[in-house]
Structures are given as C-alpha cells and as structure tokens.
Structure 1
C-alpha cells in the first residue's frame, strides 16, 4: 500500500539536529541538518526541520510559529535534552523525602573512590535542595525468625505484613501525615514542585510511599517520583539516585514536550510521537521520563547502525564499531549480534539503576 503521509526520524543533539523524512507516494527521502539552538531564526530545531521538509515537498507555506501536522503519520526522536540537563545541572528544583536517619545516604553514596590518588576531589552538586526525614520503618524478617516474631508481634501489637516479594516484614513505624504535611507545605511554599520519595523497603512495602505521594498531590506538587514505581529494586542508594534523577529531569522533559507540541496547531493529536529510551526501545511521549532518557540520543545511534549494517543486508561475520561524533560529544560503541544492556551505571556523578545500552 502506498504511503500517504510523512514519517520523520529525528536526532536532536546538543549542537546539531538531524531530521530524516520518508516522503509519501515516492521512493525517496529528505534530510535536513540545522543547529539545535538558534532562537533568532526558529523556536525549536526538530519542528523547524519538519516545517522545512513539508514546505519543500508540498510547495506550500508553513508558518514558523505554528502549523498543522495533519500530513505527518509519526515522529520518532532521540534527544540529549535530559543528558545535557543532568550534565549542566539544569533540571527542576527538587526535594528529597527519605526514611529518618538516612538524610545523608545519597550524598555519601557507596563510598567508592574511582580516583584514589587524585589530590583534588571535586564532588558534583546534589540534585536535591532540601531533605525531609520521615519517621517510618519496616524491618525484613528472616524465615527462621518469622514465626517467632509473629508471636512477639501479637504480644506487642506490632503489625507483620507480607511484601510484594513474598517476604515477611514487621512494621515498626508508620508515617504520621499530620506531622509531615506542614513540612511538605514549607517545601512547596519555597517554590519547589518536584519530590523524590525514597523509603528503605519500599521496593516490597510501597504503602508508605503511596500515602506520602497522595499527600504531596493534595498540596500541589506537580512531579512526584516514588522509588517503588521508578525502580523497585533492593539497593537503596542506586534506587534513591535513580528516583532523584527521575524527579529532577522529568519536569524538564515535560516542558520540552509541551513546547514541541505547542508548535503544532493540532497538538499532534492525529500523529504518533515516540521517543528513544536509554535501552534502545521506543516509548510514547507521555511515558518518556527522566530515568530512562539519559542515553536517548546515543542509544538511537547504536540502533541505527546496527539495523543498517545487519548480517541480513551485508552477510557480515565480524562485530561493528560505531563512531557517533557530534558537535558536543562523541560516542563510541560496539555491536556484535545482540544489544548489550546494563542495569546500573554512573552518569555525571549520579548512579542510575535502569536498563541502558552498555
């Protein structure tokens, strides 16, 4: 069946943006390369690339400020918006809500010293401005002590529950929302709208985080990242860092998406908008968030050359080395026969526990 609408694939880098378009009704394509930031000539580089190609192919005028995307079937984009915001520390103002006694946990980290003999250690700025400690605590029960502790719990009226992992936990303290409310209100009044909530065993007992999230929404916070939703894993440091990254970057991504959509008079209602994630997969714009966007641009490059140099097309036997050189940075990668993923990395001094190209 003949294609009747345009299809756009876009790589938005830190310096340049490349727009590739499949032209409807013809076995050909168009490519536009332009500066990612040129506010004197256009408000948004990907949208400007789309506009230029539509004008060139259709011969019709499309205004720079806003135009219809009725002729666009889908847009797929890899972007370094999140990466650059993390590197330059230009994300949203964020507060950390954490179990009492762990306020310095993410700052201390895992105590690794990658530059053991460096005489001048420079620590990057934290992603969060304020910390609220919450008196909540659950403790994991070992199998051997579970039954004995259940009897003890009945005597002391402690609550024993089964976590989502099937393990037994004793609830030592539940968060007092009446105590927490004025603290959250103070953070909100200071202008902060993003929260990262990290409780010790939330990966298996998410109730306490959920209660706090509901309270934060009542107060008016617009970005609430709960660790059991962002990355429900045991390791609290990596889970906490990933949740903080999500809270810090997601509003920045949302602002970019809103700005991008606003440039289309129809809001892209009839066009599919997908973004490349750090693991090399595509996701809808509404699900594109900070914790899975760090390597959006580089991952797209790996998928691109892996597909275009496939064994099926070239009957090759050896791995391929990819060299993705942009105006801001260069990414070097290797592809054998499968994509290699890692689930814990460090980017810009921040540990991230999420699937990423490795």
Structure 2
C-alpha cells in the first residue's frame, strides 16, 4: 500500500498532474490502478487521507479494501480468462472521493459503472454489479481513515509533532536493524563470502519462470533482490505489478527476522529490488493482473523463502472461486496446506502468505445464495511427507440451484508445491465440474463456465511441501489440524534454492511446536536457545 500512497504524493506534488488542484483539509483520495498508481489489482481500492497539522500535510492515513465486485467481464471481478486490464473492471488512477468534506457519490458511481460502456467492444463487460455495497464499503474506508487521523492528532496533542515523527522513525529504524541482522546472520551461517549470492527458482502453471538471485553484503547487512531471468509478461492475468513483488518481499523478510517488529517500510530499507521491464513482475499499463495479486504473489513468496531455505512451499494459491449473474456476485477464497519448516509441521486447511480471509458460514452462504454446500473437509495425505510434514489441503463441493456463471482462478494445478531438504512435494490441486447428467469435467486451473441446476463444482486445494527427509523424522504426527486463520512461514537458515544438506539438526524443543505449527512459537524457542 505504500506504493499507492507514494504515487498520490507525487501526483499532487511539485510537477505532478494534480499540483494545480492540490490537497486541502477535507479531501480524501481514491485509487486502484495496479500499474500506474501502485495498486495490486482492481478489486483492491485504496482510500488515502492527508493529515493536516498547522496548515500543512504531516502524514497520510490509508486503508485498502477488497471489493466483491468492481465490474468487468465476470461476476466477482476475478475473471479467470482476462487478457487486458479493461476486462477486469473499473480502473481509477486518482479521484477525490471526498472533496471539502463532501462524499462524491455521483462521481464515484460514474467511475464504477463506466466499464458497461465497453460492452460493445468487450462482450459481457459490465459496471459494478453491487454498487450499493461498493458505496457502503467506501464510506467505511473513509470512516476508518477519519478514525486513524483522530488518533494521530491525539498523539500529536499529547507528545508533540516532533516526538511523534521521531518515534515513527525509530519504529522504521528498528525494523531496518532487524532485517540487517537477519541478513548478516544468514550469510555467516551459510558460509557465504563477504558479498555472496543465493538463488532460487520456481514456475507458474503456464511454465513462466520466476527467478531470484539474492546478493547479500555482510558488511552493512544489505541485499539486492534481482529477478533477472523471470519470464515475460503473459497474455493472461497472472502478471503482477511491482508493488506486489515488493509486498511479497517485505512479508517474507518480516517472517524471517527473529523478533516481532511492526510491518513498516523500514524492513525494505536495506533492500534493493531489481525487476526487468516488461516481465511477469513488471508488465505494461494495460496488462491483465487480477491473478498476479492472488496467485503470482504466492509464487514470489515461495521463491524468496526457498532462497533462504526458510520453509517449503505452501499451497501457493488462494483458490479464487466466484459465481453470479447480472444482478448478483459472490467471491470466496479457499484454504489449503501450509509448507513445513525447521521445527514445525505445516498447518492443514489454512490460508497462508498473501491471503488471510475467513470463509462464509455455510448457513449464511445457503440462505443468501442459490447454492448448497455439499462438502467441506480436509484432504488427507495431500501434504508432502518429511521430517516435518506439510499441511493438507481441503475439498469443497458446491451445488448450484439455478443457472449461473461460475469461475475458478487458481494455481498449483500443474506444478506441485515443493518440499525442501529431502521433504516431498505436496499434492497438486484439482478443479472438477460434476454435471447433473453424470459427466465429470476437469476445468484446469483457470476457467469460466456456465453451470445449471444440479451441477456441482468440486475444488481440491493443494497441500504444503514437506521439510527434511521423511526417514529423518523427529517424531510427531502429520500436518497440523484444521481450522481457519492465517498461516505463515519463517525461521531463517538453509541453503539457497533448497539444495544441499539440512542445516537444521533435530531439536527436542521442536516437539512443543508441532501441535501448533506456529512460526511465532518457533521464533520464541530460537530466541531463548
């Protein structure tokens, strides 16, 4: 989100397109363009409010919300087969959603419904299908920012602007120091030269490679993350704007440091990121990107963690499932298995990395939408075997009660989540459409399909990779138990690219972590050792 705020600062700053108009107290900005304005994908709308003190802007407060529909060629605005940004919904570079304290409902309504005008050239293209929900959610985001500004002003009144600014700087400096310390320690443990490099690679289901070389300078604890060799922009929607790669990197770094630090830009201060132009992670302005934020981001995270030998691959996907018609849209993400790491089994049936959403309660789902939830259970054996076993994915079956358009946007259907240091790969995912007449049709990883009454969609999500050879098992059962909630990966150490011998000897204390599969608990053990 920091990239989105920076863009608006430049946009309304000296020499920017909005310089003449400027920003005044009572103004609130809205943006969602992925490539031009630091966004992730179009459903993620960022609302940014300047904080004025003494007649000048001293801070910005921002909130980002995923909107269930923002137009485009399919309900839910997550089209599996989009090939350009215009097919994915309304795109906004910069708009004052609040001007002088007045909410601009007419203006934002026009922007959100604008994609309908493209229907003549883009068949099926629509404006938002849930305008009322959009407006309510945007007002909630504005209100959240207003509350944040009130808290900032309260801090300023109590401690003074200079002190507040200083402590914000201290928080960033603390995060920077933690990352530099982690990089130095990793370099020493690996026996790297003073300036040494580790590498990792993985690929998307379409074969597009994501290559990473991390060059660490132990003297100052800095690193260069170079994605040279990553595949080119694709004619599909798994392109990811640079902001997504930055987010994956900062997330992985925060997971690997040995102490809890607030997520902030200081984590990236020691890092230089190099992304070649016109590649999968730096596409053109009109490229389709809706899958990049929810799929490619997961692969970038897996590659970063692989380079550091920190954890096996998690399910690598959000399993984006949508259905609806012209007047209704529904969107959910489905859990899978988490990758194992040095001292913990991967959790089963959880969201990991770039996703943290809960799923709709069955009773609410069936009451509000024309579907029946036929099954929702763990998928035993889908996690990769290992000294520490990967978590299991899930199986979810939904029956449709009337004709609808359904879509699935997923990954890890062709390439399995990898294990590390002798750990086995996890099972791949599978999407099956069970027609009412008895036919079973494999949909692949990405598909939009017309369904009828009695049709059932069965989604089998991937597991997580194993860590360490199974024959070296330190004891304990399989993957962690089911349940919802975010999973993560952390713990540092290991050799680049997941090759070589296991650098993590068995530890008796690890048994205390197995039941929880908790990265935080494992970190605590590391710190107390």
So what's the TM-score if we normalise by structure 1?
0.28
- Identify the structure with bigger relative contact order (alpha carbons < 8 Å, sequence gap 6+): 1
